[in-house]
Amino acid sequence: MYSGISYWSMPGGLEGTCSVETALKLALSHQFEALELCIGEQGILNIHLTEQECCHIRHQIHTTNLRVETLASGMSWGANPISNDQQIREHSLACNEQALQRAAWLGCSAFLYVPGVVTSPISPAERVRYDHAVERARQNISELLKTAERVGVELCLENVWNGLFYSPLEFAEFIDSFHSNHLGVYFDAGNLIGYQQHPPHWVEILGHRIKRVHVKGFRDSFGFSGSYEFCELGDGDVPLQETIQSLQDIGYDSTIIAEMLPYRDGLLKRTANTLNQLLNIPVS
């Protein structure tokens, strides 16, 4: 497995203002082995980049020893793929098709896609009936898989406080129903905290369906306050060591991307030290 960091963890990453050159340099200087790029409708990395512009970024990547295999997107929060509004659903589908094409041009082999938001503390404006949500997600993924298979990029579904597929049994059955090697799970152990789920059990159940992995520091301080909070990697309630072991047990051997938000002084150094220790990666 390879230690990596998200573009969103960089200074200006969440705003989309961090240059790829800066992100590459920071990832390298902090001894990460991989960098995950992140795309949106706006910002330096956006869905309107031309093939030539993507090839220029790809050349920058090739001048380093970093693995840049994954492209993440948070566009589902601004344009819910399973919205009750058909125009929003159509816009979301078009945006993610464009993102898949850019992933291929950038040389990425996997694209993170949030399949839809039923209801969420992140975006509470809309509530979608669950059966409608699943059917709309199925329709969208059927279309996106056509693009993913054409451009040779894996479509990786992630759950992140979006109220969808919070049973590993349901998630596995949904993935299997498409019969496509280009569809899988982008697993984030931290996203399960607060939902009374044990991440290593999800790994055991999802098995080969897990295409890529995120880790983060997250603390469940439910008690009487009902609150949750981000924290340093290795702190909090995410059973990282046990989750890493379960990933090894299923034969996972790809990138482990730390998604630590927002950027703050010393964050990259502390995260790299903890993640490399977890993965038994020697550092100089």
Q: Model confidence over 3-37: pLDDT tens digits?
A: 999 999 999 999 999 999 999 999 999 999 999 99
Q: Is the peptide bond before 262 cis (omega within 30 degrees of 0)?
A: yes
Give the span between the Cα atoms of 86 and 82, in whole angstroms: 9
Q: How far is CA 239 from the centre of its chain?
A: 19
Q: What is the pLDDT of residues 238-259, one digit of tens each?
A: 999 999 999 999 999 999 999 9
Give backbone dihedrals phi and psi of 61, rounded to 5 degrees, phi first. -65, -40
C-alpha–C-alpha distance, residues 234 and 252, integer Å: 20
| 81-129 residue pLDDT tens | 999 999 999 999 999 999 999 999 999 999 999 999 998 877 767 899 9
pLDDT of res. 122: 74
Give the distance from CA 266 to its chain's centroid.
23
3 contact partners, CB below 8 Å, separation of at least 6: 32, 33, 34, 255, 256, 258, 272, 275, 276, 279, 281
Per-residue model confidence as pLDDT tens digits over 185-234: 999 998 887 677 899 999 999 999 999 999 998 887 655 444 556 889 98
Is 23 buried (19+), middle (13-18) or exposed (0-12) by CB count in 10 A?
buried
Q: Across the chain, what does the average pLDDT equal?
A: 93
CA 77 centroid distance within chain: 13
CA-only gyration radius of the chain, Å:
18
Domains of the chain: 2-278 (3.20.20.150)
Angle, vertex CA 46, rays to CA 3 and CA 256, nearest 5: 10
Distances (CA, A) of 120 to 3, 98, 158: 29, 25, 14
- Given a contact cutoff of 8 angstroms between Cβ atoms, the answer to whether 171 and 204 are in contact is no
Which amino acid, 88? I
In this model, does residue 154 exceed pLDDT 90?
A: yes
Q: What's the pTM?
A: 0.95
Tell me the residue type at 171: F
The identity of residue 252, as a single letter, is: Y
* Nearest-angstrom CA–CA distance, 215 and 244: 10
Q: What are phi and psi of 92, to 5 degrees?
A: -60, -45
Q: Is the pLDDT reported for residue 64 higher than 80?
A: yes
Between the CA of residue 253 and those of 1, 89, 212, what are the distances in Å? 5, 35, 9
Cross-strand partners of 210 = 185
- What is the widest separation between alpha-carbon atoms in the chain? 54
User: At residue 184, does pLDDT exceed 60?
Assistant: yes
Token pair for 205: 């159940």
Are residues 57 and 109 in contact, defined by beta-carbon separation less than 8 angstroms? no
